[in-house]
Amino acid sequence: MLITFEGIEGCGKTTQLAMLLGHLRKKGMDVMAVREPGGTALGEKVRAILLNRHGGGEKEGISHWSELFLYEACRAQLVSRVIAPALEDGRIVLCDRFTDSTVAYQGYGRGLPLDAVTSINGWAAQGIRQDLTFLIDCPVEVGLGRAWSRIGSGGAAPEEREDRFEREEIEFHERVRRGYLEMAAKEPERIRLIDGSREIPDIHREICDIIDGMMG
Ligand code: T5A
């Protein structure tokens, strides 16, 4: 079973994924967690390029299409080396972002054609689809506020910070959020919309109720 966590910057999905991982392990389930971009040696190297503010070189930058293919390269590596073998072994995989992120960020956010993004997603994911997705939704100002306070307290030098997306304009993040909400409206069974502006334990309880209801 592949369960993914999605949402805008700072929505709290990484926090919730870690809490669900603990919950499922306590129940004795064979579960593992991965993140995108990353999760493999190659993926972590590309992640450093993608998320660093000078990733494409200070002047040159990263073009929108290059960005898309770099995310997809990370995904192809993660799926073939980690996710597919784990699913074949019957493990539950929790993934911090997956193909929906690319539709939301590169499609709705950057404005690349949605049909192209969806098609390339399919090739990179090699036919593997999410069984369930938690979309942790909150207003952009709330999410960015949380993300910025975490970056501010992180202690990394500015040139090493993973803040390329946090530096995008508010409208970019609004488009990403709208994309997610449209996807959730189209696939309500798979994409469960969770109000991420509440307290962390309340969100966790709702996610556990959904999972426990499904798994018994
Ligand atoms: N991307 C990714 C693409 O553009 N295309 C793609 O195809 C893919 C896969 C990944 C970036 O790459 C982009 C999207 C992203 O911009 P990242 O560093 O992994 O970059 O960043 P995020 O995935 O956005 O993860 P973050 O860690 O920044 O945010 P999260 O996971 O939403 O939030 P979390 O849980 O780390 O929490 C952030 C802070 O808020 C607090 C936490 O304690 C933490 O300090 N918090 C709360 N505070 C109050 N109330 C709550 N309910 C809270 N929940 C968490």
- 128 band by pLDDT with thresholds 50, 70 and 90: very high
Mean pLDDT to the nearest integer, 182-203:
98
SS3 90: coil
What's the chain's average pLDDT? 93
Q: Where are the domains of the chain?
A: 2-215
Distance 12 CA to ligand 1 centre (A): 6
* CATH number of this structure's domain 2-215: 3.40.50.300
| From 71, 79, 101, 163, mutation site for ligand 1 pocket: most ligand atoms within 8 A of C-beta | 101
pLDDT surpasses 60 at 9 = yes
Residues 6+ apart with CB under 8 A from 113: 107
Look up residue 108 and give its amino acid: Y
Is the separation of the CB atoms in 123 and 155 below 8 Å? no
Alpha carbon nearest to ligand 1 atom 37, residue: 12
Name the pTM for this structure.
Answer: 0.95
Which whole number is the average pLDDT over 81-95? 98
CA-closest residue to ligand 1 atom 26: 10
The percentage of the chain sitting over the pLDDT mark of 70, rounded to a whole number, equals 94
